Every structure is written in C-alpha cells, then in structure tokens.
Structure 1
C-alpha cells in the first residue's frame, strides 16, 4: 500500500467498491440487461419499419386504384398499395383473411371503405381526402376548370416560430429515456450503496474499517467509487445507443442528442453524488437489511416524484422542475431536446444543483459519521440529525 493511498484513504475505499462491483455477477448482469434493453429500443422499431411494406388496399377498378394512389401521395409515398380483385365478395374475403388492410369499393355517391374489425383512422382520413380531391377535380373538369385553377389559393403551409430541435414524438421519447436512465441508475446504485453499508455494519467490518481510516473517507470512497461505476454504465449505454443509431441510419437524431448528452453527464454526476450521500446515510441508519425499506423511502420518493414530473408533466411544470435540485437532472436535458432553451438556464440549474449537492453531501457526511457505528436498532432521520458528534 503506497504512502499516497494512506494519505488519501478514500481512494482505497473507492478502488475496493469499483473492483468488487466489476467482479459482481449481479452488477454485470444488470449492465448487460440495460445494454440489451437500449439496443432493442433503438433497433427493433427501425427493423420493424424496414420490414413492413405499404398497406395493401383491395380495389375493383381503375377509379379505386387512382384513389389509393392519391391517398399514398397525401401520406408521403410508399404507404398504400392497390390490390386488384375481381368482385366485391373477393375483396371482402381478402379483408377477412387479413391479406389486405382494407377494401375500397364503389358505393352510393362515392366509395365505401371496408375493414375487418375497424378501419385505421389515419387510413380512413387519407382515403377520404383523396376521394374528395379527385371528386372535386372531376366536377371541376365538367365546367372547364383545370386542377390548378381548382386548387388556387387553397394551400395551407406550416411555420413554427419556436421549433424544437427534434420532431415532437422523437424528442419526447429521448427525453423520457434520459430521465429513465437517471432514475434506474440512481435507484439501482443507491440501493446497492445502502445494502453495502448495512452488510458492513451487520458483519462488524465497518468497525475494523473505521479504526483504520476516517469514517468520512469511507463515505467519500463509496460515493466516488459508485459514481465511477455509474458513469461506466452510462458510457456503455451511450455507446450502445450510438451503434444502434448509426446501424439504423438515424445519424440525424445523433447530431441533436450528442450536445445534450454532454449536459446530461454534468447533471447526472452532480445529482448522483448528492443522492449517493443520501443512500449511504439510509444504510447507516439501518442495522439490518429489513430496515432499508423504511430508511431508503425518502430517497426513493426524491427520485420517483421528479421522474414523473419530467416524463408526464406539462411544459410549465417541467420548466420549474428543471431548476429544482435532483429534479433538474431529469428535467433540464429533456427540455433541451424538446425546445430551444437559452444557455443561461442550464448553467443556472447547474449552479443551483452544485450548491445543493455540496450542502446535501456535507449534511449527509455529518449524519453518516454520527450513525455509522450505532447498532442495536434502526434510527430515524430526525433522531440522527439531533445526535451530537462523538
């Protein structure tokens, strides 16, 4: 053991935490599971989209085929394909057998869309618009109007004053994904920290460690060691996402997500360090594994409530949450994906989170020092705060 390690005993504890976890099958298994989950979330939708061809629509004649062709153009192309059939009964049989998505048959003053159990709303809307457009063009031709004259001054274009950096659905998906990564990682590592502390108390190992190095060094070693492990896991997940996006030709998403990912790492580290201190305190308050259900409850709530805010709350609530310590680690990166956030806002949120992390860790260290060697019964947070230093 080097003299430098002896003067910085937290390094020894941190090294022990990292090396132990890297050999732990549970940790490796959970990391592998997250890796598979991320790859599946990126690859499966792209593979499904790549395999699925245009929806087939059964038609009887050229008029029906023209409607399907027009509806496909409205949809953007490669979405609908006309399938010719001989008569109405054959068309309905194709629908019943699931060989076609729907059938477009002549009926009344226009067409009838035939489905098996229901007709897709998007398909029905596009076919209705196509029928209306073709019908108006035919009626206009009877009175001598060209299609261009008929549709003159009828175009509606979209202009966004404050467009988000990603399409809405994609941005929401990635935003929830970032919040979920923080939630799962902080909760998983947090429970491991608390369990590790209790195990050391139950086995009396902590008394040996406390006799050799300062108790505060034990805390810092656990916090820093698990932060390093969490970052390793995040890097692995990020690398998996990168490979998945490049493999599926979604590099455009990567160009937008990559800068936000840098901000996410900063928010993640600060939020995780603050929570790691609280999880260690939760372990020091307990005397056996069964006590953790109550001592870790505050930490679980601190994670759960902000997660639901960041994932499901409205824009105003998310904006407020993005400046609240811990909650900002989940809300601010998501806001930066779904809208144009001025750079001063994440900087201010980081300053607030940094100050809060320092205060939380200092308070946690004080409580940890006073409760770690307390055995015999579980302590409450209020009782722990009232204890005097020994």
Structure 2
C-alpha cells in the first residue's frame, strides 16, 4: 500500500500513529519471540500436567502375604483404582531392599498390633493414610464378624456427606491455578507493553523524532495512537494465548474446565481492555517525563507498583479482601475474573466493577493526556510527576 493510499484509508492522525506502532511491533523480532515464548509456556502449563496425570503409574507396595495384599487392594479401591500395585517379597530383608532400591514405594509388613508401613527416607502421606484407612476397614469387618454383625450394620449411621452452600464452578485447586493464570496474564502483558510504550516515547525524544512528529501531528493524537495501537497488540496477544490454552484443554480432554473458563474469559477481555487503556496512558507519561532510557527506572516505578500490588492482592488475599479488591479499578481487572472462577458471583457485581473501571479509565486517560502534552517536548532533564502537574499547558 502506498503512502497516499494509506493516508486516504487512515484519515485521522491517531490512526497513522497506531498503524505505525502495530506495524513496527509486528516486525520486531523481540516482540515475536516473546509472544512465541508465552505461547509455549501456556501450552506447557496446560498440556504437561494432563500428560503427567494420565501417565501416572501405580505405586508399588511390597507385601509378604495375602493379608498384606488384601490391604493394598482395599487401599487401591478407596482411591478409585490404579493407585497401588502389590509386589510380593519373601521376607523383611527383601522388602527393605525393594524399598531402598526404589523397586517399591513402600512395604506393608505384619506387626503385633496390625501392620507397619516401611519407607526409605519418608513415606508419602497419601499412601500412608490410604493404607491406614484400608487396615481400619478390614479390621472393623473382621471384628464385626466375630461379634455377629455384618459390615453394613457396623457402619450404620456413620456416613458423612459434604454439602457446599456456595460451591465454586471449578475444583478449588484448578480454580486457583486458573485464577493465578488470568492475573499473571494481565500483569505480564500490561507490564511488558507498558514498558514498550515508555521506551518508544523516550527513544523518540532522544532521537528528536518526536519534534518532527509533533510538528505534523497533534501531541494528543500521538498519545492516542500509541495507546490504541499497543492496546490492539496486547489484546491480540491475549487472544492468541487464550486460543492456544483452549486448544490445549480440548486436546487433553479437559472440556469440563473449558465450559467454565470460556464465559469468564469473555468478562476478562472487557476488564483487560479497560484496565490496559488506563495504564497505557500512564506508561506513555512515564516515557515523556524521561529524557533517556536510564530515567525509566524511576519514571515507570508508579506504574509498576500500580500493577504489582493488585496482582499480589488478587492472588494471595483472603476472600473478603479479594471481594473488595474486585471493585477497585485496575485491581478489578485481576480480582473479579478470579472471583468468578472460585465462587458464584451475581452478574450485577462484574457490571458494577466494569462501570467503576470505565469511569476510572476515562479520568486516568484524561489526566495522562494533559501530562503527556505538557511534558513530551520537555528535554534536557528528567521531570517528576509533581513538577509535571505544575507545568502550564503549552
């Protein structure tokens, strides 16, 4: 496409800037490499655990006689089958050798009061608890038979059922991983693209290109072009990574997780776009305050803190604190989608959070635009945020 044709198609100045940002990044090997790396990382996080879970071999338990074998079989049944496998040995010495050589996870040996579980340096707690439960069940059945009771009579009125008042849409462990994944996706993307925006601005200031651009394009159009262009790129990267995750879930037969995650992913996109737009303006201001690359360490610190604190809060805070954070702008981009995975959130709550985030985004972008206009052409030394606020419009 020629320059004249492009100018006709992109009539507004900010479109030209956005087009330049997108085309430059798409040709950047570093950007392409980082995107491919994130794709590989996400696919590995989805596929590898499923493969490991599908290829788990049963733990071998060494036993001396039929009574020990019966205990292992009952323990295996308690775990749904495929958890334990009986390995016959001749005596205790052979059992010890099997354990120390790694041929058996543990050994179940008869003792005066029942059985003893023999391990090398430790015994897995799940293995020990399963074997203990199996021994208790078998012992109760034998004692019941001696007392003239059936196993059913012995266990009458001893069943404990679990009922949840507010069950989450996903198992707790799975929901926790997905929650961290969504928060991490927003954090890493916003931080990575934010630093690229700041570096792009300061590079243009160092090379004096910004003075040429400002003479041809309104400064606010420069800001909008950078913000919108990088928002499109960031959203595109998130969509590609999300698509890779969904493909990984389908290929590993985890469609049940997909059914829950897919609707939340739609909400996450809305929160992501609004949150990123708010932060993108601040990252551009961070670049306009600096005069060289070395200055970005201090000028981008507020933006890093705005991202870091909500990230750790949304991941590690308790339920009550996380509920509050899910309504706080910027933090809501990470906290609300996570809540929707772990609990039954009424639809009005994400809608209210979006409205609050939208209002905050408008205010932050307007403030960022004012600071950007006042500081972009300021050269010679680094400016502070207070000093930038005090500058008069040019």
Using structure 1 for the length normalisation, give the TM-score.
Answer: 0.99
Q: Which residue of 1 aligns with 2:12?
A: 8
Q: Which residue of 2 aligns with 1:40?
A: 44
CA deviations on 1:46-68 (whole Å, 9 max, x unpaired) are: 11112221111111111111111
After TM superposition, the structure 1 = structure 2 runs for residues 212-223 of structure 1, keeping only pairs within 5 Å, are 212-223=216-227
Q: Which residue of 1 aligns with 2:291?
A: 287
Shift of 1:98: 0.7
In 2, distance between residues paired with 1:4 and 1:275?
31
CA deviations on 1:120-158 (whole Å, 9 max, x unpaired) are: 111111111110110011011012111111111111111
Q: Which residue of 2 aligns with 1:137?
A: 141
After TM superposition, the structure 1 = structure 2 runs for residues 157-196 of structure 1, keeping only pairs within 5 Å, are 157-196=161-200
Q: Which residue of 2 aligns with 1:17?
A: 21
Pick aligned residue for 2:317 from 294, 301, 313: 313
In 2, distance between residues paired with 1:321 and 1:100?
49
In 2, distance between residues paired with 1:165 and 1:275?
31
Greater CA drift, 154-163 or 330-339: 154-163
Q: Which residue of 2 aligns with 1:80?
A: 84
CA deviations on 1:206-249 (whole Å, 9 max, x unpaired) are: 00000001000000000000001001111110111011111111
CA deviations on 1:304-338 (whole Å, 9 max, x unpaired) are: 00000011110111111101110000000000000
2:133 aligned counterpart, secondary structure: helix
Pick aligned residue for 2:338 from 329, 334, 339: 334
After TM superposition, the structure 1 = structure 2 runs for residues 108-257 of structure 1, keeping only pairs within 5 Å, are 108-257=112-261
CA deviations on 1:251-270 (whole Å, 9 max, x unpaired) are: 10000000000000000000
After TM superposition, the structure 1 = structure 2 runs for residues 253-272 of structure 1, keeping only pairs within 5 Å, are 253-272=257-276
In 2, distance between residues paired with 1:288 and 1:110?
75
Pick aligned residue for 1:356 from 349, 353, 360: 360
In 2, distance between residues paired with 1:368 and 1:16?
19
In the TM superposition, structure 1's runs of 4+ consecutive aligned residues that sit over 6 Å from their partners are none
Residue 268 of structure 2 is aligned to residue 276 of structure 1: no
Q: Which residue of 1 aligns with 2:302?
A: 298
Shift of 1:76: 2.1
Unmatched segments (≥5 aa) in structure 1 = none
